[in-house]
Each structure stands twice: as C-alpha cells, then as structure tokens.
Amino acid sequence: MVKSKARLCSDPLLSERYIAEIQKALPRPETTIYPYEPVIVDGMTAYLAGQIGKQDGGLAHVGVVGQELSVSEGASSARICAQQALSWLSASTGGLANLRRVLRMTCYVAHADGFDQISEVANGASDYLIETLGERGAHSRSVIGVKSLPRNAPVLVELTAALRNRLPSVDLVTLKQ
C-alpha cells in the first residue's frame, strides 16, 4: 500500500479541486535549447525526456552526490526533477486530471566512487510523486549510478505515464515559449 498525503478520493469535485491545487503549485516547465522534445505522447502514453533539477532558469544543485553534495541535497534535486516532470506532463497533456498514473521512473544519479546510497537519493523523486498524486504516483523504477550528467546536474529523472484520454496532436513548440 502506498502512503500518501494526497487527498485523491472517489469524490470527483474534491479530486478536481486537488488536481487544480497541484497544477497551481507546479513551476513553469523549464525550456530546453537542445534539439529534442520534452514530452512525446503516443496514444494514451506520455514519455518524458530526462529532467534535471532546474529552477528559475538554473540548476538548484550542482555537483556529484557523495562528493560535493549530501544524500539529502541529492534527494532534494530528485524532488525538483520530479516537479519539472509533472509540470511538463501537465502542460503537454491537457492537465493532470488526464493523468491515469505514473507507470515508470528512471533516476540517474551522478555519484562519487564508492557511494552506495543512490536509491535514497531517488526516493526524493518517488516520495514527491506519491505524496502529490497518491496511488496515481506509485510507479516502478530503476535507479542508475553514473559518473556525470548534463550541466553537472546531480540527478536526472525520466517518467513514463498513462493517460486517461487519447490526445490530439500537441504543438510542443508553443509549450516551449
């Protein structure tokens, strides 16, 4: 059973209000200058590109976990990555009300040699998804330790999510502006 602070319940109005609160609290999706799409929707599945812990145009944390950063700083970065992923998911799929559930999360952690707490770092993202979305945020996951990540980010998170409704083609160029 998933522990959650989310107030998702069978009452559709409460659920809609709660989803609206979540969406208001999400940061604006941080754009990319690189040649890829942050989200691809195929049928009723959304595939989110790797998200680094960007806030206000810059990285919230920089460096290697277990060297420049502590486990708690790494987990904080993972949480920010998950927030960015939900922000893109909301912006590109018609809102979080269209989210059926998060299916899978892959978390990459840049860590020092001998550091063995990468799962604890990834818990920052997993905990955020479950606290925010309840059962909809429960997911399978892989956690992969790496030497480095883009822009010296400590964590990168990818998500795959199932949608409630099939979407028409989404113009992601508009979302990037």
For residue 23, tell me if it sits in a domain: yes
Q: Is residue 95 part of a domain?
A: yes
Q: Rounded to two decimals, what is the model's pTM?
A: 0.87
Tokens found for residue 77 = 């970065």
pLDDT tens sequence across 137-163? 999 999 999 999 999 999 999 999 999
For residue 121, CA distances in Å to 56, 73, 99, 162 come to 22, 8, 25, 25
Assign residue 103 the CATH number of its domain.
3.30.1330.40
Write out pLDDT tens, residues 15-58: 778 888 888 889 889 888 899 999 999 999 999 999 999 998 89
Residue 61 placed within a domain: yes
Cβ within 8 Å of residue 60, ≥6 positions away? 53, 54, 76, 77, 80
62 token code pair: 């920089």
